[in-house]
Chains A and B, each alone.
Chain A
Amino acid sequence: MPDQPHVRLVGVTKRLGTHLAVDGISLDVAEGTFMTLLGPSGCGKTTTLRMIAGFYSPDRGEIRIRDRVINDIPPHRRNTAMVFQEYALFPHMTVAENVGYGLRMRRVPRPEARRRVALVIELVGLSGQERKFPHQLSGGQQQRVALARALIVEPEVLLLDEPLSNLDAKLRVRVRTEIRQLQQRLGKTTLYVTHDQEEALAISDQIAVMHNGRILQVGTPAEIYFHPANRFVADFVGQGVFLPAKVLNARQVEIELGTLEGNIPNACTIGCDACGKGCRADILLRPDDVVHDDAAPTQAEVVHKAFRGAEILYTLRLASGRKVLALVPSHHNHALGERIGIRLDVDHVVAFQPEP
């Protein structure tokens, strides 16, 4: 089957002690896809990854790689190389020995192993460091060793468990770009775990947002950001506030700041038949949906501002007392308490049922 998923999880459940870490999740990962498991700590993303690596076996459900069920295959026979959050480099081995470890375990003849080690070390840009020990390397270099050590075994699936969390902010952005480029070049099916939504949006083909052991939504970064399936996803990914709205019809809602047009499917579910006039909904407004415009009739008061370099993130109080966020180029610098004109520029209307 050409469109068979490369990795498939079906109803996978795992209890750790008394804690239900993973609660019946199903997920398909297509060949060559960069799939990110995104969620707050304790959501079950790392447990899921460790089950795919074979460190835990699922209590219920099935994990498949292609058409093979791998539930009971021990970790060392899976070929699902992993990059660990704390790298887990072998401190008693040099860079070259660390990278070559997987080949040694697979009894690859020495000359070939040497050749492949040199190749992979070059691939991750560590040439010249082969004889150093891990503690002689910087954090970023250690990270590359961990990556090289996983890549060299030509894993069926590459697993990365928050690999950037021990790097400083600037390096994190650089390394994640490198990881992504490398993954695209090698076309390697990759599962990536992170709690950093910005990282997930920047790097992934697909994101699976997890919470309390369940997958809430799977989609491309744009789908997750613009069409969050529920309030948790909307809240966790990106910034924004909810404003109460009145549904005018299936394509129009009215909020304090004006009328919005677009497809508004989520607003019309239970208790709201046919999206008739008068139904209530909550509308998600992202900071980029609110535009500062001196000519606009609607005014709001600046109650807080966070300078971000190129932009300022304003928190504005509306006439009703509700607050919205607005991302404004930083040459528009307004003092606290000032009233500034705003208008809406909403591409994607995201609406949810009001909370009871």
Chain B
Amino acid sequence: MAVWTRTRGRMMADPGLVVAFAAVGALLVLFVLYPAVRVLIYPRLADYLAVPDNPRWLQAARNSLLMMVLSTLTATAVGFLYAFAISRRDMPLRRLFQTLSVLPLFAPPFMVAFSYILMFGRQGLITKALFGLDVNIFGWQGLWLVQTVAFFPFAALVIGAVLEQISPTVEYAALNLGATEGGVIRTVLFPLARPGVAAAALVVAISVLADFGNAVVIAGGFPLLATEAWFRIEGLADLKGAAVAVALLIVPTMILFLLERYWVGQRTYTVLTGKGTRIEQPPTPPLIRWLLFGGCVVVSAFVVIVYVGVLTGSVATVWGYKWTPTLAHWRLGLAQGGPQLITSLKIGVLSALLTSAVAVLAAFITSRPTLPLRNAIDFLAVLPAALPGVFIGVGYLLAFNGPPIILSGTVWILILALSFWHIPLGYQAARAQLKQIDRSIEEAAQNLGATGMRVLWDVYLPLLGPAFMASFINAFIRAVTNLSIVVFLITPRTLVATYSILAMIGGGFWGAAAALTTALLAITLLGVGAARLVLRVGLRPIGAT
């Protein structure tokens, strides 16, 4: 990037910015817009019109919507109670609960389903070994439970951020005006959290609709749009059918996405208090506190069970029959999946770097106020958040299988698909951070004699460090643990760990699958730790003042 000019009015004359703008724009058009359009125009109009005549399609669509409603309701409700509980400073074990609720975000997306089959299935450690029950967990009920546990952390995260914003003074004001402690919660805290709850519900609903990993493992014969696309390709080599399935899926996710972005997103209550309050929260009434505590214990138990299930699964000799510990599964799993773990790791690092670089650059460009078309770039940078992984998978399969660009069969198609799918979070983090940076800081640097290039280097890059790190970590985790995209794009030469685990689960090698899942989880956590270390040393954040 060359010189950023001194005055904002002349920004367009800046060749460096123009080049960066063109490059980012071209990348987003080619790797976000083009595959999406390819999916939508691949089936002919007649194929779309035939959808109502196909009972299987209708069934899948209806099931997807049903699961969306059920799982969104429960996951959001649980997420809200959980977030509310850990927002109370006087909640016992608050830190522990907080950590436990974040843990599932590091797990591969099918892990909850897999572990619950081990724990609550027909051979379940809890259902059969402990209680002697014969439970069939496959089907919509099992999926409902699994999705609730898998997605409540998202809801808790979104709602928690909103609850954190509420100044304790508002609670004192309500108490002072005669509200009882319960009244404060009912009339002030709940209504203030409502926009957060709406946003959380929409985020969860999109995730549930797009959920491939859990559905493919536990839904059994229950057809869903997300899995249907893959079954079409795997079983029938029916590309057109797959495209139709993901195109159907995109209608509700797009609606939810637009709702979230342009309706709920505008509605969060602005924090009015200029000065930070150092005043402590008033105490939570004991009855409510202990009820919430009980709820947190139950929910946390379900989270812990996910990990216990996979860990014990990797060492039990024959699941359901012989519980003596063995390392055989680890040997088998690592022998078969070891190289794929390395591939996953490589793909994760490369794609996370690419994601973060493009995301930060795009955010920098769209935060320049005078640029034309910046809204278009902005839209393309957040659009992937509305696209289910299976949609991206099918899109890349269709788009880069032939001219002008042929990538299929290479590792690059995986890296690019994962990179561009994960841009929105990093982009939004960088945008938010840029918004925090007062213009006057840039002006001060210029005023003191820094030329354009130095302003970017001295002022913006150090301040964007935290956003880059957030983007990298998020993209890395999601790339390493991804299943929904990779199932469409891998070839025998580019196998990754998640796909092997899925194959092992399908083939009944539960022990090996559990061992490999544990190894993948360990690698993810190690990778995140390493990334934090490297980025902290490399890009020391200059305190967000």
Which residues of A come within 8 Å of B, CB atoms? Answer: 53-55, 74-77, 79-82, 84-93, 101-102, 104-106, 134-135, 142, 149-150, 153, 166
CA distance A80 to B175 in the complex (A): 10
- Give me 26 A-to-B residue pairs in the complex whose CB atoms sit less than 8 angstroms apart, sorted by A's number: A53-B176, A55-B172, A75-B176, A77-B178, A79-B178, A82-B172, A87-B273, A88-B167, A88-B172, A89-B170, A89-B272, A90-B170, A90-B188, A91-B192, A91-B271, A91-B272, A92-B192, A92-B194, A92-B269, A93-B191, A101-B174, A101-B177, A105-B179, A105-B180, A135-B272, A142-B272
Closest chain A CB from B280 CB (angstroms)? 9
Residues of chain B within 8 A (CB-CB) of A166 are 274-275
Query: With A101-B187, A105-B179, A105-B183 as given contacts, are A86 and B174 in contact (CB-CB < 8 Å)?
Result: no
Are B270 and A82 interface neighbours, CB within 8 A?
A: no
**Residue picked from A80, A91, A166, most chain B C-beta under 10 Å:** A91
Residues of chain B within 8 A (CB-CB) of A80 are 176
**Residue picked from B172, B183, B271, B282, most chain A C-beta under 10 Å:** B172
Among candidates A87, A90, A135, residue contacting B270 with C-beta atoms closer than 8 Å? A135
Within 8 A of A (CB), among B184-203: 187-188, 191-192, 194
CA distance A82 to B167 in the complex (A): 16
Residues of chain B within 8 A (CB-CB) of A135 are 269-270, 272
Are B269 and A149 interface neighbours, CB within 8 A?
A: no
CA distance A106 to B179 in the complex (A): 8
Residues of chain B within 8 A (CB-CB) of A79 are 178
Is B173 at the interface (CB under 8 A from chain A)?
A: yes
Are A88 and B170 interface neighbours, CB within 8 A?
A: yes
CA distance A53 to B171 in the complex (A): 13
Among candidates A76, A89, A92, A102, residue contacting B180 with C-beta atoms closer than 8 Å? A76
Closest chain B CB from A57 CB (angstroms)? 12
Are A76 and B282 interface neighbours, CB within 8 A?
A: no
Closest chain B CB from A74 CB (angstroms)? 8
Among candidates B167, B180, B183, B188, residue contacting A86 with C-beta atoms closer than 8 Å? B167
CB < 8 Å A-B pair total: 93
Is B277 at the interface (CB under 8 A from chain A)?
A: yes
Since A86-B272, A88-B169, A166-B275 are in contact, a sample of 13 more A-B pairs with Cβ atoms closer than 8 Å, ordered by chain A residue number, is: A53-B176, A54-B176, A76-B179, A82-B173, A86-B275, A88-B172, A91-B271, A91-B272, A101-B187, A102-B178, A104-B187, A105-B178, A105-B187
Among candidates A76, A85, A91, residue contacting B175 with C-beta atoms closer than 8 Å? A76
Closest chain A CB from B182 CB (angstroms)? 10
Closest chain A CB from B187 CB (angstroms)? 7
Are A75 and B170 interface neighbours, CB within 8 A?
A: no
Interface size, B (range) = 20 to 34
Among candidates B173, B180, B269, residue contacting A84 with C-beta atoms closer than 8 Å? B173
Among candidates A81, A85, A134, residue contacting B176 with C-beta atoms closer than 8 Å? A81
Query: With A88-B169, A88-B170, A91-B192 as given contacts, are A82 and B272 in contact (CB-CB < 8 Å)?
Result: no
Closest chain A CB from B107 CB (angstroms)? 35
Query: With A55-B282, A91-B192, A92-B191 as given contacts, are A105 and B177 in contact (CB-CB < 8 Å)?
Result: yes
Residues of chain A within 8 A (CB-CB) of B174 are 90, 101, 105
Residues of chain A within 8 A (CB-CB) of B271 are 91
Name the CB-closest residue of A to B269: A91
Residues of chain A within 8 A (CB-CB) of B172 are 53, 55, 75, 82, 84, 88
Are B282 and A91 interface neighbours, CB within 8 A?
A: no
Name the CB-closest residue of B to A161: B169
Are B274 and A88 interface neighbours, CB within 8 A?
A: no
CA distance A85 to B272 in the complex (A): 12
CA distance A79 to B177 in the complex (A): 7
Closest chain A CB from B273 CB (angstroms)? 4
Closest chain B CB from A132 CB (angstroms)? 13
Residues of chain B within 8 A (CB-CB) of A89 are 170, 173, 272
Are A84 and B169 interface neighbours, CB within 8 A?
A: yes
Closest chain A CB from B58 CB (angstroms)? 41
Name the CB-closest residue of A to B178: A105
Residues of chain B within 8 A (CB-CB) of A93 are 191
Closest chain B CB from A81 CB (angstroms)? 6
Interchain residue pairs A-B with the least CB separation, the first 9: A105-B178, A86-B273, A102-B177, A88-B173, A91-B269, A88-B169, A75-B175, A92-B191, A105-B179
Residues of chain B within 8 A (CB-CB) of A90 are 170, 173-174, 188, 192
**Residue picked from A86, A101, A102, A106, most chain B C-beta under 10 Å:** A86
Residues of chain A within 8 A (CB-CB) of B170 are 88-91
Residues of chain B within 8 A (CB-CB) of A106 are 178
Are B275 and A55 interface neighbours, CB within 8 A?
A: no
Closest chain A CB from B153 CB (angstroms)? 26
Name the CB-closest residue of B to A84: B169
Closest chain B CB from A172 CB (angstroms)? 15
Name the CB-closest residue of A to B195: A92
**Residue picked from B173, B187, B188, most chain A C-beta under 10 Å:** B173
Name the CB-closest residue of A to B267: A92
CA distance A84 to B183 in the complex (A): 20
**Residue picked from A74, A81, A92, A142, most chain B C-beta under 10 Å:** A92
Are B277 and A86 interface neighbours, CB within 8 A?
A: yes
Are A86 and B177 interface neighbours, CB within 8 A?
A: no
Within 8 A of A (CB), among B123-179: 167, 169-170, 172-179
CA distance A37 to B431 in the complex (A): 45
CA distance A102 to B194 in the complex (A): 22
CA distance A135 to B273 in the complex (A): 10
Within 8 A of A (CB), among B248-299: 269-275, 277, 282
Closest chain B CB from A105 CB (angstroms)? 4
CA distance A90 to B183 in the complex (A): 14
Residues of chain B within 8 A (CB-CB) of A105 are 174, 177-180, 183, 187
Residues of chain A within 8 A (CB-CB) of B192 are 90-92
Residues of chain B within 8 A (CB-CB) of A134 are 272
Query: With A92-B191, A92-B269, A101-B187 as given contacts, are A86 and B274 in contact (CB-CB < 8 Å)?
Result: yes
Name the CB-closest residue of B to A86: B273
CA distance A182 to B150 in the complex (A): 57
CA distance A223 to B391 in the complex (A): 79
CA distance A271 to B429 in the complex (A): 69
Residues of chain B within 8 A (CB-CB) of A91 are 170, 192, 269-272
Residues of chain B within 8 A (CB-CB) of A55 are 172, 175-176, 282
Closest chain A CB from B190 CB (angstroms)? 10
CA distance A63 to B289 in the complex (A): 29
Residues of chain B within 8 A (CB-CB) of A76 are 175-181, 183
CA distance A237 to B291 in the complex (A): 52
CA distance A55 to B272 in the complex (A): 22
Closest chain B CB from A174 CB (angstroms)? 20
Residues of chain A within 8 A (CB-CB) of B183 are 76, 105
CA distance A85 to B270 in the complex (A): 18
Among candidates B175, B176, B272, B282, residue contacting A87 with C-beta atoms closer than 8 Å? B272
CA distance A283 to B174 in the complex (A): 50
CA distance A3 to B273 in the complex (A): 41
Closest chain B CB from A309 CB (angstroms)? 29
Name the CB-closest residue of B to A146: B173
Residues of chain A within 8 A (CB-CB) of B187 are 101, 104-105
Closest chain A CB from B504 CB (angstroms)? 51
CA distance A86 to B166 in the complex (A): 13
Residues of chain A within 8 A (CB-CB) of B191 are 92-93
Closest chain B CB from A89 CB (angstroms)? 6
Are A153 and B272 interface neighbours, CB within 8 A?
A: no
Query: With A92-B192, A135-B272 as given contacts, are A153 and B178 in contact (CB-CB < 8 Å)?
Result: yes
Query: With A91-B270, A101-B187, A135-B270 as given contacts, are A81 and B177 in contact (CB-CB < 8 Å)?
Result: yes
Among candidates B176, B179, B180, B274, residue contacting A82 with C-beta atoms closer than 8 Å? B176
CA distance A12 to B269 in the complex (A): 39
Residues of chain A within 8 A (CB-CB) of B180 are 76, 105
Among candidates A54, A77, A86, A104, residue contacting B169 with C-beta atoms closer than 8 Å? A86
Name the CB-closest residue of A to B177: A102
Residues of chain A within 8 A (CB-CB) of B275 are 85-86, 166
**Residue picked from B177, B183, B192, B271, most chain A C-beta under 10 Å:** B177
